Amino acid sequence: MVNHEVEKLREGLQALRLQLGEELRAGLEAGATVQLDQSRVGRLSRMDAMQAQAMSQEVSRRLQTRLRQIESALARLQAGEYGYCNECGELIDPRRLEIDLLATRCISCASKNEF
């Protein structure tokens, strides 16, 4: 890959990391311990709050996974290994990386594993 392509991908990964970090911080507040709302009575309101908490925790878990993937991609970029398929070692089409910055397989290998 050409230097300007690498820099563009690095900027995209860093922007994605920043965005997901902000979403994670906001989600952690929503996933805090459920407090009983005294103005709403009944088990259903408590269950609604617990369900919202569980969904928020799952979103946070997924965001943390994506952040780890971004950190891994940035480390591969630094090592000169970013953009190569983890399975066959061939160069991943830069157009694929523009669409999915976290792609670790070329189209051919990704297609084989879907079936």
What range defines the domain where residue 109 resides? 83-115
Question: Tell me, what DSSP letter sits at residue 85?
Answer: -
Q: What is the dihedral of CA 62, 66, 67, 70, to 10 degrees?
A: 180
Q: pLDDT tens digit string along 57-100?
A: 888 899 999 999 999 999 999 998 999 999 999 999 989 998 99
Cβ burial of 82 (10 Å; 0-12, 13-18, 19+) is buried
Q: Are both 33 and 78 inside the same structural domain?
A: yes
pTM reported for the whole predicted model? 0.73
Q: Are both 14 and 47 inside the same structural domain?
A: yes
Q: Are both 113 and 75 inside the same structural domain?
A: no
Q: Are both 70 and 95 inside the same structural domain?
A: no
What is the chain's alpha carbon radius of gyration, rounded to the nearest angstrom?
20
Domain tally, the chain: 2
